[in-house]
């Protein structure tokens, strides 16, 4: 991993986890001091985050974290419904035995985290999300379109800014665990129609909590 990639990943994680609040300014000099790298590297990392939809550039204010809003959440969800559902469909149809075995392994790792998660513990929630991401990445890994997979990855990261608050809702965690088991079963049966149906339901859960999520995020302390 290059130095630019390391800085990019670190800033992205800070945004996703709420360390940099929505709409807050990202002062290149401060970030430069924090990471001990050149301004050129910082600007390159921030430009990549603009492409990810996590940072915006303003002629007067420089760089800032993308806003957090019900409209943004709805936009992300609609995009996921268009892209991720198709990624899952193609992956389930194209997956081979190696894909299937890796999916089973990813599911078992996720299920362990879902059983053990402590919703009051940030480290536990991070471990859960890492396992959740691994499962969903593997579910879509056999999709032949690299472009669709790239869009999926970008949207998944943007959506997590909102999901990290939803993870503190036990009802969502319980429903998500049921979805994951159903998704695994459908994938192993190569039932693409069922897998896409559950994927839609899974994505839409966050939208049902959108107003509460926006309010809760504003009250959630950053790290």
What superfamily would CATH give domain 70-219? GntR ligand-binding domain-like (1.20.120.530)
Instruction: Report the distance separating Cα 85 and Cα 70, nearest Å.
Output: 22
**Model confidence over 64-83: pLDDT tens digits?**
998 888 788 889 999 999 99
**What's phi and psi for 25, nearest 5 deg?**
-75, 140
Question: Which DSSP state fits 20?
Answer: S
Domain 3-65, classified CATH 1.10.10.10, yes or no: yes
Provide the H-helix boundaries in 27-145.
28-35, 39-51, 70-94, 97-116, 122-139
Q: pTM here? A: 0.82
Q: What is the DSSP string of 21-57?
A: -TT-EE-HHHHHHHHT--HHHHHHHHHHHHHTTSEEE
**Model confidence over 76-104: pLDDT tens digits?**
999 999 999 999 999 999 999 999 999 99
Domain with CATH 1.20.120.530 in the chain: 70-219
């Amino acid at each position: 991993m290059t130095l630019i990639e390391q800085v990019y990943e670190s800033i992205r994680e800070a945004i996703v986890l709420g360390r940099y609040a929505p709409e807050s300014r990202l002062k290149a000099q401060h970030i430069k001091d924090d990471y001990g790298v050149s301004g050129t590297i910082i600007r390159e990392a921030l430009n990549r985050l603009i492409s990810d939809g996590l940072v915006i550039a303003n002629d007067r204010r420089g760089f800032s974290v993308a806003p957090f809003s019900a409209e943004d959440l709805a936009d992300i969800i609609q995009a996921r419904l268009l892209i991720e559902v198709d990624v899952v469909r193609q992956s389930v149809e194209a997956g081979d035995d190696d894909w299937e075995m890796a999916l089973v392994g990813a599911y078992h790792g996720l299920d362990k985290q879902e059983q053990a998660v402590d919703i009051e513990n940030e480290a536990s929630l991070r471990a859960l999300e890492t396992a959740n991401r691994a499962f969903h990445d593997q579910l879509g890994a056999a999709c032949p379109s690299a472009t669709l997979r790239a869009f999926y990855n970008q949207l998944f990261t943007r959506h997590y800014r909102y999901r990290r608050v939803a993870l503190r809702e036990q009802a969502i965690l319980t429903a998500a665990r049921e979805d994951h088991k159903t998704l695994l079963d459908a994938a192993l049966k190569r039932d693409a129609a069922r897998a896409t149906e559950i994927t839609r339901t899974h994505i839409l859960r966050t939208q049902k909590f959108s107003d509460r999520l926006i309010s809760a995020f504003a009250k959630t302390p950053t790290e």
